[in-house]
Structure 1
């Protein structure tokens, strides 16, 4: 469930301009979202951090909401992508605050460009914005550096398969030794790989 807080109280819903969000709201997920490491709870961004990230990306190049989601997902190597339910209300808020302005574009997608007020906000928060963008890039580097993902997946598969067999309890003494020998053999082969 997504909630917003602002100067006019507490609300829940989509968008601002009287459609559920108080004007000047920030958005966060109370129930917790999936973290990049697969856990739940901690948010990727606090309060107005997503606002600054979106402004920075729009300052770099006018963008649609979907473009922003894809760009953040690309920066993090697929580890994190903000949901449309967060991004689109935030774009409406930024537009209401005159930090971005809708540009003419083809189709139904709204493309936004930064305004002078939005650029001033970025300039005032330059160090913070740089730190946020570095956080996203670092997450992407860790994700891309995790090229060993197929190995981790295979290790997890082996662990699950062994747990299921052990829980079934149908291992004979010989089968236990055979499984241990297979694992030892694979370990030795991996050590010899160049």
Structure 2
């Protein structure tokens, strides 16, 4: 869940508090937004083929690999990945391998390697785009601020749990937070 102003916010997730700031007020997820479309027609096929060329993988591995490349900013849905894998197989670019249990791994074929070679420039641009998305996300992440905000929230929670709210405490906490906000805005 993201909260905060346009251009940044606090992320509350498995890693705890994390502060994110996107320069230029683009908001979390970059210019296309968190749920925007990452790939145009045929581009996902090339990315999946490139990842499979690195090592045989099953669909879930491919989803995770793309998510890791984008530092969690984008992960294609299984409803897009698996039909694309079927299409790559129908095109003769990948083939199923014997796998562990129900998960089928896919390996690239010689025709698939030739297809990658013929489209090397576009594949390079696509992989650069994924890396850039991940790099942008890493640069905007500020765990130090997230830790400090987390400490603040923890202190408030403990203080209120210990003695509850009263008008004096509410006024004092509000003054402290307002003063901190003013001081931060004055920073150069």
Whole-angstrom distance in 1 between the partners of 2:34 and 2:127: 22
**2:29 aligned residue (28, 31, 36):** 36
Q: What is the deviation of 1:42?
A: 4.2
- Quote the residue 2:58 is aligned against: 64
* Structure with the higher helix share, 1 or 2: 2
Whole-angstrom distance in 2 between the partners of 1:52 and 1:183: 51
Two-structure CA RMSD over aligned residues (Å): 3.5
**2:178 aligned residue (177, 183, 186):** 183
Q: What is the deviation of 1:115?
A: 0.5
Question: Structure 1 residues 183 and 111, CA, compared in 2 at 3 Å: closer, same or farther?
Answer: same
Greater relative contact order (Cα < 8 A, sep 6+): 2
- Which stretch shifts more, 143-152 or 102-111? 143-152
Structure 2 regions of 5+ residues with no counterpart? 1-27, 150-169
Whole-angstrom distance in 1 between the partners of 2:113 and 2:63: 20
Question: Structure 1 residues 121 and 70, CA, compared in 2 at 3 Å: closer, same or farther?
Answer: same
**2:98 aligned residue (99, 104, 116):** 104
Matched, 1:74 2:68: yes
- Which stretch shifts more, 94-103 or 181-190? 181-190
TM-score, normalised relative to structure 1:
0.62
- Quote the residue 2:49 is aligned against: 55
Q: What is the deviation of 1:116?
A: 1.0
Question: Structure 1 residues 40 and 182, CA, compared in 2 at 3 Å: closer, same or farther?
Answer: closer
TM-score, normalised relative to structure 2:
0.63
Matched, 1:113 2:135: no
Structure 1 regions of 5+ residues with no counterpart? 1-34, 155-174
- Quote the residue 1:157 is aligned against: none
* 3-state SS of 1:112 partner: strand
- Quote the residue 1:158 is aligned against: none
Whole-angstrom distance in 2 between the partners of 1:182 and 1:68: 44
Matched, 1:123 2:117: yes
**1:51-88 alpha-carbon deviations (Å, 9 max, x no partner):** 00000000000000000000000111000000000000
Runs of 4+ in 1 over 6 A off after TM superposition: 189-192
